[in-house]
Amino acid sequence: MEKYQIIRMYEDSGRSRRVIDSGLTLEEAQSHCRDPETSSSTCTSSQKRAYTRKVGRWFDGYESY
């Protein structure tokens, strides 16, 4: 069975991509990425908004490994 990992990617090309979670099924990875809190353009929590101010625009995607 193929496994997936969540990757946080940044608009600032100088910032490295970062693995957020791994060992997920496709359904789990897709569910994570559908959450509005997994993108700087749709998040509303004060913690994620503060993170965006600190690091710039970002979003979570997934890939198989």
Summarize pLDDT for 16-39 with one digit per residue, the tens.
999 999 999 999 999 999 999 999
Give the count of domains, the chain.
Answer: 1
Burial-class residue 55 by CB neighbours within 10 Å (0-12, 13-18, 19+).
middle
Average pLDDT rounded to a whole number, residues 45-53:
97
Q: Name the residue range of residue 32's domain.
A: 4-64
- Whether pTM exceeds 0.95: no
**pLDDT score at 15:** 86
Q: Is residue 13 pLDDT above 90, yes or no?
A: no
pLDDT of residue 14: 83
pLDDT cut 70: percent of the chain above it: 100
